[in-house]
Amino acid sequence: MKKTTTKKLATQKKTKINKSINETKTNLTKANEIKKNETKNNETKTNEIKTKEIKKNETKNNKIKTNNEEYIKECYIEGKKDIIIFDDMIRYYTKANSIYEILSIEEKKLGTGFICEIQLKDKKIIVLLTNNHILDENEIKIGKIIKIRNNNRIIKEIKITKDRFKCTDILLDYTCIEIIEKDLLENYLKIDPEINCENPYDEYKYDKFIIIQYPRNEKIGFCDGKIEKIEDEYIIYYSISTDNGSSGSPLIATTRNLYVIGIHCGKSKNNNCNRGIFIKNILDDINQKYYQKNEIIIIFESYHHDFLESFYNKAKRLGIEESIDLFCNDEKIDFNSYVDKYDNSLKIQIKEYLTNMRLMFCGGNSLTSLDLSNFNTNNVTNMKSMFSNCSSLTSLDLSNFNTNNVTNMSDMFCGLNKNCDVITLDNHLLEELGY
């Protein structure tokens, strides 16, 4: 009886253990199923989020694409309504970072300018380009400060120093200032490499162009159109609308990797088109001015400090005194030094490109010889009394003088030594000399 009871208890215990094991397996199975379902639900949620993001991006891209298409369509509307303000124009916005408002010292808007890379004969430099009628020669003298403002309304300053290259031209209506500030070198436009073509109009007549500009006091915007004609190989006429304050903006070819081919100048007086200057002519002029230095070789019969002082005072009046270097026997000397101890041959080097040479050598009765064969007079407009009363002058070399832009030559040679040998091929000078 006892054995039977023990066996029965053992069986019950075994059954209880098996039941416990089965319950544990069941619980593990349920736990695995719950975990599996949770993982599946998490994957589903993740996929739903990804799907939503993809749809959101597609919607955004479609919206941008639609907006861009609408912008392009609106650009063909006649009148100034086609100047589009843009913050989301992805293709053009990066170029907008190179374009600035030109401001006065009082931070009033003068016009527009842009940072650009230009190719010189042996190197590339980054410059600010704008119009001469916005920044003329008086605004880029040494010590002046140019204020510019970008699309984020941040104002930056460019100080004109002796070592910074700058030049300007009235006829081509441009001003160029070398950029050396690191924060301004990050974004710049590039010139179209095809600008040296023989017939510019045939080269560009089928291209599309935009002018990126600051219309009135709005944020930066653009308008597109095409070139109508190119006159005298440097004046471009185009059907692209602009607004006040857009002078100095770049003319950009949208079908040519957004290269610059010109600078916008303003409204044409003769027709309904706007006009600008072909960039090739500007680059040629910049290259000439960058490499050519004006050197005046002066030989004194006897040294007179009064003449040197007079010459320096004239330079101060013209605002170019810091751009003049004086040499004697290739040794740089100070204008205020007494150079009697030096040889009587002096060389004056002028780095600026003057427009006014009025009275420059007037009263130089101690001068016996002047060699001005390296002097650049392409931009000079006034030569009144330039050599008046140079009574001791026996040799005057003006062989490279160009007086095509000179409007005042009165008394230019008044009181000049009658026996002076003047070397020139310029017809206006020959006429003034009485030949």
Cα–Cα distance between 205 and 197 in angstroms, integer? 13
Q: What is the pLDDT of residues 147-190, one digit of tens each?
A: 999 888 899 999 998 788 888 888 889 999 999 998 898 889 99
Helix runs in 181-304, H state only:
200-204, 279-291
Look at residue 282 in the predicted model and tell me its pLDDT.
Answer: 92
Bridging pattern class, strands 395-397 and 367-371: parallel
Cα–Cα distance between 343 and 329 in angstroms, integer? 7
How many alpha carbons fall within 13 Å on the CB side of residue 89? 20
Look at residue 35 in the predicted model and tell me its pLDDT.
Answer: 67
Cα–Cα distance between 306 and 299 in angstroms, integer? 15
Q: 429, 404 in Cβ contact below 8 A?
A: no
Grouping H, G, I as helix, E, B as strand and the rest as coil, residue 118 is strand
The conformational region for residue 434 under phi > 0 = left, psi -120 to 50 = alpha, else beta, is: left
The dihedral through the CA atoms of 269, 280, 118, 253 has a sign that is: positive
Cα–Cα distance between 394 and 421 in angstroms, integer? 6
Bridging pattern class, strands 155-159 and 166-169: unpaired
Look at residue 195 in the predicted model and tell me its pLDDT.
Answer: 85
**For residue 289, which amino acid is it?**
K
Cα–Cα distance between 169 and 291 in angstroms, integer? 16
- How many CB atoms are located within 10 Å of the residue 342 CB? 15
Q: 124, 193 in Cβ contact below 8 A?
A: no
Ranges of the chain whose pLDDT falls below 50: 1-3, 63-88, 302-303, 342-343
Look at residue 33 in the predicted model and tell me its pLDDT.
Answer: 72
Break the chain into its structural domains and give their ranges. Answer: 60-71+78-291, 293-433
Look at residue 80 in the predicted model and tell me its pLDDT.
Answer: 45
Q: What is the pLDDT of residues 195-214, one digit of tens each?
A: 888 888 888 988 889 898 88
Q: 154, 102 in Cβ contact below 8 A?
A: no
Cα–Cα distance between 264 and 102 in angstroms, integer? 14
Nearest residue to 129 via CA among 145, 142, 115, 144: 115
The 8-class DSSP code of residue 134 comes to T
Nearest residue to 376 via CA among 399, 404, 395, 402: 402
Grouping H, G, I as helix, E, B as strand and the rest as coil, residue 205 is coil
Q: 151, 174 in Cβ contact below 8 A?
A: no
State in words which class domain 60-71+78-291 has.
Answer: mainly beta
The 8-class DSSP code of residue 96 comes to H
223, two tokens? 């308008």
41, two tokens? 């639900």
Look at residue 1 in the predicted model and tell me its pLDDT.
Answer: 47
Q: 354, 405 in Cβ contact below 8 A?
A: no
Nearest residue to 259 via CA among 112, 116, 127, 126: 116
Look at residue 161 in the predicted model and tell me its pLDDT.
Answer: 86
Look at residue 366 in the predicted model and tell me its pLDDT.
Answer: 73
